[in-house]
Amino acid sequence: MSLTDSIPNNVDLSQDKKLLRALEHWQPGYLKWWMEMGPDGFQRDDIWLRTAVSVQPDGWAQYDYVKMPDYRWGIFLTPRDKQRTIGFGDVGAQQAWEEVPGELRGLLRRIIVTQADTEPASVEQQRQLGKTAPSLFDLRSLFQVNVEEGRHLWAMVHLLHQYFGRDGREEAEALLERRSGDRDKPRILQTFNVPTDEWLSFYMFTMFTDRDGKYQLAALSESGFDPLARATQFMLTEEAFHLFTGETGVDRVVRRGAELSKKDPNGDARALGGIDLPTVQKWINFWFSSAVELFGGEISSNAADYFAAGLKGRYREQQKYKEHLALGDAYEMDVIESGKLARKSVPLRNAMNEVLRDEYVDDCERAVRKWNRTIEEQGVSYRLRLPSRRFNRSMGMYSQHSFDLEGTPISKEQFEARRHEWLPTDEDRAYVRSLMKPVLEPGKMANWIAPPAKGVHGQPLDFEYVKFNRD
Ligand SMILES: [Fe+2]
Ligand SMILES: [Fe+2]
């Protein structure tokens, strides 16, 4: 099979011999990485997966049984609008760039490589999870997320190969060499080096960490560098399913936890083999505080530069804002002054990370309200909540201080004394891990999670989403 056959694309790959050769050279290394670092133990099985085959809104995906190593990782950009102008920053109203402007080469490469690195990292973090899937439905969701993160790596590597010459080729190789959690060659961002070795963490990851990805991709989809804008736009289409998996996954754990707590005479879901709501809360505290780091420093000259240069816009810059210069305006934020919180006015461009983080936090709040409605429906009084964005930070200006869940400054000693109430303890982790036993019969669910509302793409819940080929 020729490379153009094995890579569905809408970038005229068969016409661009140079790019074709570059990708042909990269592909074997990618497949080797997938076999070594992709889902462990399921490479010969038939998974009912969707594959992106075009960018048509009504027919972009095909569903069929596929063995993961045969997945057709494709390259799709949303179609080019030749009239498109840049929508913000000092370069607003200029024609969008088809090539990388020389002076922005380094910045753009860094942005693309940082995004690209998260894609294989998450596959590596999740590679053991298949062995303890709570149902065939969930096993399929995991693999769907994994193959699409693989495709997102392809999307970014295509940009590196096509627009960054030799540097780009070297970066594309390095993306296959770093390993999540590796001491010598870790992935770039810390959150992507944390193992995701049980399913509660998988749902938290796809809820909170992948959701950071949504906002980063949305900011990049405004980019003046048109191929990046078009690549990230299409990635967002697939990303919606990952976020859905996380949000509904947590919801199902919460529903089951509430149900079981009602059945137990002492109201303890753990006594009946479920995940109790206080444990879910600790996982939220941990994963949310780790995901908010990904937006970068609260006051950031980098963020100002990215905006000024037309590289990274605000969330829905075109739809939401009338004024796209963001010069003159200020952003009010809480800073720490002699151990106390104080309101400070920051030039808006320097607060762009915080502006994006606000959108993200609102979206997370919405999901928590939904989970609380589920708990309420069960007649249970416990309520989940998001911690303050200042809680448990290791980067940015809040990392120099300690805060409680409400974001009130406390001493380091006070934080440490209450750490076990707020964040997962070794014992909590051991308990959650002890529940992780595979359930692989069609339609059956592990005891600690409620079934999903419906099956995938019109299929019933007891559909055989994975067919095992074992001897
Ligand atoms: Fe992704
Ligand atoms: Fe994702």
pLDDT tens-digit map of 59-80: 788 999 999 999 999 898 999 9
- 151 CA → ligand 1 middle, Å: 8
**Nearest ligand for residue 220 CA:** 1
- 17 CA → ligand 2 middle, Å: 31
pLDDT tens-digit map of 324-348: 999 999 999 999 998 899 999 999 9
pLDDT value at 57 more than 90: no
CATH class of 13-467: mainly alpha
- 273 CA → ligand 1 middle, Å: 33
Predicted local distance difference test score (pLDDT) of residue 245:
98
pLDDT tens-digit map of 106-142: 999 999 999 999 999 999 999 999 999 999 999 999 9
Predicted local distance difference test score (pLDDT) of residue 7:
79
Residue spans of the domains in the chain: they are 13-467
As a whole-number percent, the residues of the chain with pLDDT over 90 amount to 91
As a whole-number percent, the residues of the chain with pLDDT over 70 amount to 99
Span 20-38, mean pLDDT? 95
pLDDT value at 175 more than 90: yes
- 239 CA → ligand 1 middle, Å: 6
Mean pLDDT estimate for the chain: 95
For 88-186, where are the alpha helices, taking DSSP H only? 105-125, 136-163, 165-175
Measured CA distances, 294 to 103, 140, 203, 355, 443 (Å): 26, 28, 18, 13, 37
pLDDT tens-digit map of 178-205: 999 999 999 999 889 988 999 999 999 9
For the stretch 301-308, contacts whose Cβ atoms lie closer than 8 Å and that sit 24 or more positions apart, written own/partner, are 301/350, 303/349, 303/350, 303/351, 303/352, 303/353, 304/347, 304/349, 304/350, 304/352, 305/107, 306/107, 306/111, 306/352, 307/88, 307/89, 307/349, 307/352, 308/89, 308/90, 308/349
- 36 CA → ligand 1 middle, Å: 19
- 210 CA → ligand 2 middle, Å: 5
pLDDT value at 15 more than 80: yes
Do 100 and 426 form a contact (C-beta atoms < 8 A)? no
pLDDT value at 1 more than 80: no
- 210 CA → ligand 1 middle, Å: 7
pLDDT tens-digit map of 431-447: 999 999 999 999 999 99
- 179 CA → ligand 2 middle, Å: 18
Question: Rounded distance, CA 232 to CA 215, Å?
Answer: 11
Predicted local distance difference test score (pLDDT) of residue 3:
58
Predicted local distance difference test score (pLDDT) of residue 185:
97
Span 20-28, mean pLDDT? 92
- 377 CA → ligand 2 middle, Å: 30
**Nearest ligand for residue 243 CA:** 2
